């Protein structure tokens, strides 16, 4: 508190106790702090850099022009691709209809990074609480405390975003590679609109500053940061409604129902919904499912804690149950980004299974209809679609790693903040392995059912589209009667019934299990690293005053 008080005296009465805080005073108060505060500032800046890079990459793909299909003026009834994107080697960048998926995958990477920034903001929270409480007791108003709490986080994120823009410009030069035929591997020839660049540079610090203010709300309410909480009942399972709503919105049958109810006639014009309506409904469905899974972790934590308190035997289970019931929303805060990545990954694996079933159905159909090959109606370039799924899973892997880093920061911060409590328990005879067991089960007890919920919800999104592939079943076909004929021109044809192929879409249990194993392995590494912090935080020296 002495550092805060001396800073207040240097700022003067007009700098702090007046209606408006001077900019110089705000900067000095925002940068005040100890070594932990500087570490938090550095980690927040790195998080802002990574988030800005992901958003700049997504904006770059959005800046590509051309690639959409337009009517061919030379021929009636045919279409050609509009020029402007033919210089790229990847079809994911060439075709306008595929670029939104790339943009979504890149924007997905920004979510766990922003969650990591939120965890970094919590680093050294007790010391910062005392510092801001000292400023409040010295005469700062709640509004001035809001400025200080938000400015120190926003300034670090702004620095990271600006550095991220610099790194982005350097990467455009370093990654400017071409294929042997002269096509670009990445869109290094385009830049986002200046307004988009300015928006990203402003969005990252605005979100980080908002998180900083939200996390410091207790100090803003009372200078001493004392908030009495009495939990009479736990969270309710209402997030399950969000999951069901998301599945309904994602299903194409919902749009068909709107047409059958003639709701489209209310739209002025030609009586049809806008072209972007299906994509908007599917995006809203994914968002609802992710929110339902993340928020539902609070109810899962409280329920698991209540079961451990009722049926647990031994200090580990009882202490774990008490901690889960006391703060059930801890799982939603710390595991939210990881669970969101798992939902997206499960949906991508379900889509890959759907693609495999479709290709298998067409292969079966073509073998029956045309043993000589050259079947009709089969999707082209299956490897291209599989490559898109692999890109999505690469994004999910990076998101899982970043989310695990955020959990590690929160895990270590929680141990350091309670180091004197842990040291006192160790001094009173509680074994370290008991404390380690409490921390382990406090993480994994709600994680296991929440992870299962995320896997089921993500896979169910794709299952709402279709559960089987149907090919054929149309009018009779004329096929070659002699497969050994020298060519198709001399082949004698015969008329057969069009075969009807039904191929069920399998549930990728094996791949979903691998995704779950990867998430659990990452969390096990996080807990293992946290145990090292626990060992140093339970030394008896932590009981010393000062």
Distance CA 27, CA 14 (A): 15
Which of 5-14, 112-121, 279-288, 457-466 holds the top average pLDDT? 457-466
Specify the higher pLDDT residue, 412 or 257: 412
**What's residue 18's pLDDT?**
45
Mean pLDDT of 392-400: 86
**What's residue 6's pLDDT?**
45
**What's residue 195's pLDDT?**
94
Q: Any idea how long the chain is?
A: 546
Q: Quickly list H helices, 418-508.
A: 419-427, 432-463
- Sign of torsion, CA 509 511 517 522? negative
Residues 291-342 have pLDDT tens digits of: 999 999 999 999 999 999 888 888 899 989 988 988 888 888 788 888 988 9
Distance CA 235, CA 203 (A): 32
Across the chain, mean pLDDT equals 79
In what helix (H) or strand (E) does residue 405 lie, and over which residues does it extend?
helix 382-417
Residues 108-141 have pLDDT tens digits of: 778 777 777 777 776 666 666 677 777 777 777 7
Please state the domain extents for the chain: 1-68+84-228
All residues at 6 or more sequence positions from 264 whose CB lies less than 8 Å from its CB, including other chains:
258, 271, 272, 273
> Are 519 and 399 a contacting pair, CB within 8 Å?
no
Q: How confident is the model at residue 3 (pLDDT cuts 50, 70, 90)?
A: very low
Mean pLDDT of 399-416: 83
Count Cα atoms within 13 angstroms, Cβ side, for 507. 12
Specify the higher pLDDT residue, 99 or 37: 99
Residue 146 has pLDDT above 50, yes or no: yes
Q: What percent of the chain is predicted at pLDDT more than 90?
A: 21
Q: In sequence order, what are the beta bridge partners of 470?
A: 502
Distance CA 477, CA 494 (A): 8
**Residue reference for tokens 């890959």:** 352
DSSP for 298-345, please give it.
HHHHHHHHHHHHHH--SHHHHHHHHHHHH-TTHHHHHHHHHHHHHHHH
Residues 149-192 have pLDDT tens digits of: 777 788 888 889 999 999 999 999 998 888 888 888 889 889 99
Distance CA 156, CA 40 (A): 9
Global confidence as pTM:
0.78
All residues at 6 or more sequence positions from 279 whose CB lies less than 8 Å from its CB, including other chains:
100
Q: At what angle do helices 509-537 and 382-417 cross, to 10 degrees?
A: 20
User: Which one, of 315, 395, 391, lies nearest residue 54 by Cα?
Assistant: 395
Q: What percent of the chain is predicted at pLDDT more than 70?
A: 76
Distance CA 471, CA 390 (A): 26
Distance CA 505, CA 356 (A): 8
Residue 26 has pLDDT above 60, yes or no: no
Distance CA 90, CA 87 (A): 9
Residue 439 has pLDDT above 80, yes or no: yes
**Residue reference for tokens 């209540």:** 306
Specify the higher pLDDT residue, 449 or 388: 449
Burial 87-110 (b: 16+ CB within 10 A, else e): bbbbebbbbbebbeebbbbbbbbb
Residue 11 has pLDDT above 70, yes or no: no
Distance CA 340, CA 348 (A): 13
Burial 335-357 (b: 16+ CB within 10 A, else e): bbbbbbbbbbbbbbbbbbbbbbb
Q: At what angle do helices 194-215 and 142-174 cross, to 10 degrees?
A: 140
Q: How confident is the model at residue 259 (pLDDT cuts 50, 70, 90)?
A: low
Residue 488 has pLDDT above 80, yes or no: no
């Amino acid at each position: 508190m002495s550092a805060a008080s001396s800073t207040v005296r240097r700022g003067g009465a007009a700098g702090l106790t007046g209606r408006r805080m001077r900019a110089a005073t705000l900067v000095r108060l925002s940068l005040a702090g100890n070594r932990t505060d500087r570490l938090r500032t550095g980690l927040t800046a790195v998080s802002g850099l990574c988030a800005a890079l992901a958003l700049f990459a997504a904006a770059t793909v959005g800046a590509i022009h051309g690639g959409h299909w337009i009517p061919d003026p030379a021929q009636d009834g045919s279409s050609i691709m509009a020029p402007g994107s033919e210089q790229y080697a990847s079809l994911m960048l060439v075709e306008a209809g595929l670029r939104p998926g790339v943009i979504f995958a890149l924007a997905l990477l920004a979510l766990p990074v922003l969650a990591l920034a939120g965890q970094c903001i919590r680093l050294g929270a007790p010391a910062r609480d005392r510092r801001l409480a000292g400023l409040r007791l010295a005469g700062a108003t709640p509004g001035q405390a809001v400025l200080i709490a938000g400015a120190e986080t926003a300034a670090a994120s702004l620095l990271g975003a600006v550095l991220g823009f610099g790194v982005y410009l350097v990467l455009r030069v370093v990654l400017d590679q071409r294929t042997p035929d002269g096509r670009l591997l990445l869109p290094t020839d385009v830049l986002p609109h200046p307004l988009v660049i300015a928006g990203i540079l402003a969005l990252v610090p605005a979100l980080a500053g908002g998180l900083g203010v939200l996390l410091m709300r207790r100090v803003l309410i009372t200078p001493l940061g004392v908030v009495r909480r009495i939990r009479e009942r736990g969270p309710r399972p209402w997030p399950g409604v969000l999951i069901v709503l998301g599945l309904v919105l994602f299903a194409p049958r919902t749009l068909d129902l709107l047409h059958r109810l003639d709701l489209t006639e209310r739209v002025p014009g030609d009586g049809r919904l806008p072209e972007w309506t299906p994509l908007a409904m599917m995006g809203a469905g994914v968002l609802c499912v992710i929110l339902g899974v993340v928020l539902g972790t609070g109810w899962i934590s409280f329920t698991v804690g209540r079961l451990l308190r009722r049926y647990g035997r031994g200090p580990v289970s009882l202490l774990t149950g008490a901690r889960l019931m006391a703060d059930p929303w801890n799982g939603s805060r710390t595991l939210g980004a990881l669970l969101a990545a798992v939902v997206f990954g499960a949906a991508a694996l379900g889509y890959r299974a759907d693609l495999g079933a479709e290709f298998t159905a067409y292969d079966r159909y073509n073998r029956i209809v045309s043993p000589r090959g050259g079947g009709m109606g089969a999707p082209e370039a299956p490897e291209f679609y599989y490559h898109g799924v692999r890109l999505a899973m690469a994004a999910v892997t990076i998101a899982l790693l970043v989310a695990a880093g955020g959990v590690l920061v929160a895990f270590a911060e929680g141990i350091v903040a309670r180091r004197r409590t842990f040291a006192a328990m160790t001094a009173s005879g509680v074994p370290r392995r008991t404390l380690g067991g409490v921390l382990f089960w406090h993480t994994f007890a709600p994680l296991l059912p929440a992870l299962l919920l995320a896997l089921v919800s993500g896979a169910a999104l794709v299952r709402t589209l279709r559960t089987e592939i149907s090919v054929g079943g149309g009018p009779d076909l004329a096929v070659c009667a002699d497969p050994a004929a020298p060519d198709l021109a001399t082949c004698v044809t015969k008329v057969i019934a069009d075969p009807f192929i039904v191929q069920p879409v399998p549930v990728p249990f094996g791949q979903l299990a691998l995704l779950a194993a990867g998430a659990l392995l990452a969390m096990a590494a996080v807990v293992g690293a946290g145990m090292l912090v626990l060992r140093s935080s339970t030394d008896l020296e932590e009981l010393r005053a000062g």
